[in-house]
Chains A and B, each alone.
Chain A
Amino acid sequence: MSLVDLATTRKPWIVRHRLLLLGVLAAVLFPFVIAIVVDGAPISAVWENADGNAKFLQGLAIEVVVLALYAMSYDLVLGVSGLLSFGHAMFFAVGAYSLGILLKSAGLGLVPSLLIVMGIAVLVALLFAVVLPRVKGIGFALVTLGLASVTGIIISSSEFKDYTGADVGLQGVPSPDWLNPTDQRFRFYLVSMGVLVLVYLLYQRLVDSPTGKVLVAVRDNEDRALMLGYSTFWYKTFALIVASMTAALAGSLHTLYQPIVTPEVAGLGFTVAALLMILIGGVGTVSGAIVGAAVFRLTEFYLDRWFEGLSNLLIGAGYILLVLFLPYGIVGTWRTRSNRIGEGRSRLARLLSGSKGE
């Protein structure tokens, strides 16, 4: 088999995505199982959106989806393309606030508002791209941190109180009746899951594409990519635009779901949250962002519930253990191990077939 043939013989789609398909199935069944097993309610409780654990846990899952989209976008910037941005929260905050303001103050519908938000997201990404050729590494981190801080200051300033709610936060954003997070919780849950699956598939596609390989090459060694004839600036700009649009989409879901959006979503703390999520899941793995977001939100929630004041200490200790024992994150470590198993298998096959081994 020649090198070129190897690239075209891939496993069928359904096999490659079996984990994803199982996940989707589990996600759809999840509320029903909770309703029956935990709440002891009829399954109709799910689509009637009756109060109970099923409804509550769907809410928690929606929060996980929002964080997963946000973490995935950060993984594209940091994990795949190697751009150290400390201002990633700005992408999320701009999305969250723009959508809120467009729905509430401008009185636009959801679809036109979302389209405008995507346009704004592109502009924000271009703002980051402007500084790309001028500063690298830690310099880029500081400039992006500065940009995000400015956003935070604008959002919290009393001059724009009528629009942003200043430091109190943005409240009273009207959500469309068909997607009301309380009355139509199950529908909101399915829509957000659908968005996550779509974005995930797009990201997988992107990372596997020639463009994705160039982004990895830029992360490995930008000079080499330049000398192969790639204008790396445009590739990095492209990654920033995709990430900004994704994070803005996450922010939009956040605004639709949460009764109040606070300026903290523009802060350094929220960028660090994205970093933690992809560290947990595995930097540069894309699917790790989803795992990381789930672990992040659920441990935060349950540790807080069970240990209250101690929870932050426990979370901190957990992160230290994670970095020590799972340096590639959950998905990253799992992949490395399964690769080794795969290598072993093919070596065995070579030995058995009598061909020359490594």
Chain B
Amino acid sequence: MSLLSLEAVNTHIGQYHILQGVDLEVGAGEIVAMLGRNGAGKTTTLKTIMGLHPRTGGTVTFDGEEIGELRPYEVASLGIGYVPENRAIFADLSVEENLRIAERERGDLARSIDFIHDLFPDLARLAELPGTSLSGGQQQMLAVARALVPENRLLLIDEPSEGLAPVIIEQMMEAIRSISSDTTVLLVEQNFVVASRLAQQYVILEEGRSVAGGAMADLVDDDETINRYLGAG
């Protein structure tokens, strides 16, 4: 059974009808990549799952439970972590405080800190610096690390490779792979190479609808689908 499933999800933001029928399934333990051009509704889908842009139609089910009506903080407390795009850290808090604030229960950070430092050794050295003084790559690492502090069952990661140097992208991919050994991941990724190397399953969004999906291995050889929905890939 799927850990997360969306059925015919519609979302309006103000008067705009952004999602017009998104279906997607994320099985426990998988990495699923959500692909599509700019403006296809990928980020909105993640925000709809989190309850930040509540769905206006369809169902969002997590672990067999309908979560479409829940507030963002209630969704988060079910064990869904969100790594927003654009280095979404708290600029006025230090690295350490950025991690500590993600604790859902006392001791979360103490439990996860070694794992985080193994993934991102830089963060140990930067603990006391304010969030603003980090480089783009370091901020992205911190944003991912923050989602690892509490025990999450599902991580929604938005554009982890955006604007990063190739060597940092490799490190980020390695980190996501390590995470996925015990956490399910739904990944939004524009970089098809990154997505195809990480994910086992994919779903493609086009103009607010899910238009294709299946095993990533099949998509890699399917030039027609790639060209049609993802441009030159």
Task: Give A contacts to B, CB under 8 Å.
Answer: 2-4, 6-7, 210, 213-214, 216-217, 219-221, 223-232, 284
**Residues of chain B having any CB pair with chain A under 8 Å:** 50, 52, 71-73, 75-77, 82, 84, 88, 90-93, 96-97, 99-104, 109-110, 113, 117, 123-124, 127-128, 146, 150
Chain A's nearest CB lies how many Å from the CB of B229?
A: 28
Q: How many inter-chain contacts with C-beta < 8 Å in the A-B complex?
A: 74
- Quick one: which of B52, B100, B104, B124 contacts A213, CB cutoff 8 A? B100
Tell me whether chain A's interface is mostly helix, strand or loop, or mixed.
helix
Q: Are A4 and B90 in contact (CB under 8 A)?
A: no
Q: Is the CB of A6 within 8 A of B73?
A: no
Q: How far is the CB of B164 from chain A (nearest CB, A)?
A: 19
Q: Which residue of B lies closest to A219 (CB)?
A: B92
B127 neighbours in A (Cβ, 8 Å): 3, 6
In the complex, chain A residues whose CB is within 8 Å of the CB of B93: 213, 216-217, 220
Q: Is the CB of A231 within 8 A of B71?
A: yes
A residues less than 8 Å from B104 (CB atoms): 229
CB distance from A269 to the nearest CB of B (A): 30
Contact B96 A2 (CB under 8 A): no
Q: Would B84 and A227 count as touching, CB distance under 8 A? A: yes
A18 to B131 CA separation, bound complex (whole angstroms)? 28
Residues of B within 8 A of A7 (CB): 96, 100
CA distance A119 to B77 in the complex (A): 33
What separation, in Å, do the CA atoms of A231 and B71 have in the docked complex? 9
Q: Is the CB of B73 within 8 A of A230?
A: yes
Tell me how far the C-beta of A72 lies from the nearest C-beta in chain B, rounded to whole angstroms: 19
Q: Would A2 and B50 count as touching, CB distance under 8 A?
A: no
Given contacts A3-B99, A226-B52, contact A232 B73 (CB under 8 A): yes
Considering the chains assembled together, what is the distance between the CA atoms of A198 and B17 in angstroms?
Answer: 53
Q: Flag if B109 contacts A4 (CB, 8 Å).
A: yes
B13 → A minimal CB distance (Å) = 13
Q: What's the nearest-Cβ distance from chain A to residue B116, in Å? A: 8
A160 CA / B104 CA spacing, docked (Å): 50
Instruction: Report the minimum CB–CB distance from B24 to chain A (whole Å).
Output: 19
When the two chains form their complex, are residues B101 and A217 in contact, meaning their CB atoms are under 8 A apart?
yes
**Chain B neighbourhood of A2, CB < 8 A:** 113, 117, 124
